[in-house]
């Protein structure tokens, strides 16, 4: 392919998949490639897998305007040393500097938490268009979040604001990979839903997709695990809404695409826990930008710097 449209090189790094693509300045994803995130404790194996993927994308458009990078949190920001909870091979890995040296040169490059990137993309191009106060949530291998308040992206003191996955929804609950316990992520992340279903007696396919199919077929163990996850997310949203006076919550990620088995308990728990009128008024909707919204989000991070 030979591209003449101005494009941004987008890179999205998650616990399950690595993705890279070229995004036009209007948000359109023109081309992309993905591969599974290697399961390894070797930082360089992860890096080599990522650069193989990105090299094949840049071969199609060496003239990109800038580079946007979304990565699972937490990270040191804006310096961009990453320690993703769901990628144990990278701890304090200098991702931004390594990517800058290899792909950016003099061009702008920005990195942020992948859920903050999703929030920015949904605000710019998706379900949050025209909204000034919103929370974007990703429910997938992990659970992440990003805040837009008064129309501005909220970074926080260290760039880690919005980590709703590590809000405590079960005081004294199970230990979380983050070092805390009772976190939302420990209940609502895909692998946790599957593990809980198995604990309750689910004997079928132990992946998130398999358990979701079982829940839709009415299997009590699979259904109970999704109900627990949906309720935990709805409860956390009620707290976040009270804290931030939100107009809208947008939820993306694979688990959020499971339908009523997830959304019905989420909405019930939200209604039960949201007391004040300004909290109840918050709308909760699915993300519009779909499976590869992480790439749109990564591109959105750098858009203001290249235009």
* 176 near Zn ion (CB under 5 A): yes
* 168 near Zn ion (CB under 5 A): no
Tell me how many residues contact Zn ion (CB under 5 A).
Answer: 5
Among 166, 189, 196, 228, binds Zn ion (CB under 5 A): 166
Specify the stretch interacting with Zn ion by CB under 5 A; choose among 133-141, 162-170, 192-200, 292-300.
162-170
Supply the minimum distance, in Å, between the C-beta of residue 158 and Zn ion: 16
Can you give the chain as a three-state secondary structure string? Answer: CCCCCCEEEEEEECCCEEEEEEEECCCCEEEEEEEECCCCCCHHHHHHHHHHHHHHHHCCCCCCCCEEEEECCCEECCCCEECCCCCCCCCCECHHHHHHHHHHCCCCEEEEEHHHHHHHHHHHHCCCCCCCCEEEEEECCCEEEEEEECCEECCCCCCCCCCHHHCECCCCCCECCCCCECECHHHHCHHHHHHHHHHCCCCCCCCHHHHHHHHHCCCHHHHHHHHHHHHHHHHHHHHHHHHHCCCEEEEECHHHHCCHHHHHHHHHHHHHHCCCHHHHCCEEEECCCCCCHHHHHHHHHHHHHHC
Supply the minimum distance, in Å, between the C-beta of residue 88 and Zn ion: 14
Task: Report the C-alpha gap between 218 and 295 in whole angstroms.
Answer: 35
Supply the minimum distance, in Å, between the C-beta of residue 183 and Zn ion: 3
Supply the minimum distance, in Å, between the C-beta of residue 178 and Zn ion: 3
Specify the stretch interacting with Zn ion by CB under 5 A; choose among 151-159, 183-191, 216-224, 233-241.
183-191
Cβ proximity to Zn ion, 128 vs 182, nearer residue: 182
* 210 near Zn ion (CB under 5 A): no
Supply the minimum distance, in Å, between the C-beta of residue 305 and Zn ion: 32
* 173 near Zn ion (CB under 5 A): no
* 180 near Zn ion (CB under 5 A): yes
Specify the stretch interacting with Zn ion by CB under 5 A; choose among 64-72, 110-118, 165-173, 283-291.
165-173
Supply the minimum distance, in Å, between the C-beta of residue 223 and Zn ion: 25
Cβ proximity to Zn ion, 166 vs 228, nearer residue: 166
Among 3, 168, 178, 242, binds Zn ion (CB under 5 A): 178
Binding site for Zn ion (CB under 5 A): 166, 176, 178, 180, 183
């Amino acid at each position: 392919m030979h591209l003449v449209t101005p494009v941004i090189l987008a890179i999205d790094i998650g616990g399950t998949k690595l993705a890279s693509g070229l995004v036009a300045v209007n948000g359109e994803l023109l081309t992309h490639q993905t591969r599974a995130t290697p399961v390894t404790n070797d930082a360089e194996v992860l890096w080599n897998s990522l650069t193989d993927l990105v090299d094949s994308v840049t071969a199609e458009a060496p003239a990109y305007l800038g580079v946007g990078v979304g990565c699972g949190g937490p990270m040191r920001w804006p310096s961009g040393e990453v320690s993703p909870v769901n990628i144990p091979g990278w701890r304090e890995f200098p991702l931004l500097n390594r990517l800058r040296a290899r792909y950016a040169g003099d061009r702008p490059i920005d990195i942020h938490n992948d859920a903050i990137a999703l929030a920015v993309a949904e605000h710019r191009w998706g379900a949050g268009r025209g909204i000034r106060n919103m929370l974007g949530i990703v429910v997938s291998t992990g659970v992440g979040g990003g805040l837009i308040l008064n129309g501005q992206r909220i970074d926080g003191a260290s760039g880690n604001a919005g980590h709703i996955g590590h809000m405590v929804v079960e005081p004294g609950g199970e230990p979380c990979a983050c070092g805390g316990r009772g976190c939302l992520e420990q209940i609502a992340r895909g692998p946790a839903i599957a593990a809980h279903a198995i604990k309750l007696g689910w004997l079928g396919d132990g992946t998130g997709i398999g358990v979701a199919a079982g829940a839709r077929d009415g299997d009590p163990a699979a259904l109970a695990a999704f109900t627990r996850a949906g309720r935990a997310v709805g409860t956390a949203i009620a707290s976040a809404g009270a804290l931030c006076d939100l107009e809208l919550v947008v939820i993306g990620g694979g688990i959020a695409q499971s339908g009523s088995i997830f959304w019905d308990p989420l909405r019930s728990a939200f209604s039960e826990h949201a007391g004040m009128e300004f909290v109840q008024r918050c709308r909760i909707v699915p993300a519009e930008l779909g499976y590869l919204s992480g790439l749109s989000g990564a591109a959105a991070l750098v858009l203001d710097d290249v235009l």
